[in-house]
Amino acid sequence: MTTADPSDLPPAGGRLIDAPLVPVRIGVLTVSDTRDAESDTSGAILVDRIAAAGHAVAARAIVPDAVELIRDRVLAWIEAGEVDAVITTGGTGLTGRDVTPEALEPLFDKRIEGFSVIFHQVSHQSIGLSTLQSRATAGLIGGVFVFCLPGSNGAVRDGWDKVIRWQLDSRHRPCNMVELMPRLMER
């Protein structure tokens, strides 16, 4: 008898229904002054996990830690209608060059307050109190989900495997963010 990989099981309180997956188009943005296509391991982890979950990597880019460059890239993807969600990696720390929250939070139409709380809970299981050094955040911009993760490989794994993956899976119950997508721009 084989046992399931724990990362393939929904978190406590969740379950998957037997239904087709609704694929989500996801943009992956790495924010870093030092990484390039070859050294962007956190972006590569996200790309691999997104594809393995049955979603589409609709766009991928690397930009330096600069408010305007981060905003320009995310807004270009959203305004072009290329993505249903954006996941950033990097720039959520406490140093002077960490500006991803400053770049994107002012653009949020709505904040997803619970994301930061849940991310820190799962991160605490992995790295303990060091999770305090992250300003992971999420919100909606123009009807698109935007998740901002730290740049470490471990944080990306925790953020995708234990939080984002399940909320972007249309089969996840009791609810998921995909079922909200048609109504995000209601007024």
3-state secondary structure 165-178: HHHCCCCEECCCCH
Give dist(CA 169, CA 179) in Å, integer.
9
pLDDT for 6 = 54
Confidence class of residue 2 from pLDDT cuts 50, 70 and 90? very low
Cβ contact 133:152 at 8 Å: no
DSSP bridge pairs for 76: none
pLDDT at 13 over 90: no
pLDDT at 56 over 50: yes
Confidence class of residue 8 from pLDDT cuts 50, 70 and 90? confident
pLDDT for 5 = 56
Q: At 67, which helix (H) or strand (E)?
A: helix 67-79
Q: In the 8-state DSSP scheme, what is residue 10?
A: P
Which top CATH class is 21-181?
alpha beta
Q: In the 8-state DSSP scheme, what is residue 179?
A: G
pLDDT for 72 = 98
pLDDT for 21 = 97
Q: Domain ranges for the chain, please list them.
A: 21-181
pLDDT at 120 over 80: yes
Across 113-147, b (16+ Cβ under 10 Å) vs e yields eebbebbeebbeeebeeebeebbbbbbbbebbbbb
Could you tell me the two tokens for 61? 């880019």
pLDDT at 1 over 50: no
**Cβ-proximal residues to 171 (8 Å cutoff; 6+ apart), any chain:** 16, 17, 18, 19, 21
pLDDT at 26 over 70: yes
Residue of higher predicted confidence among 53 and 3? 53
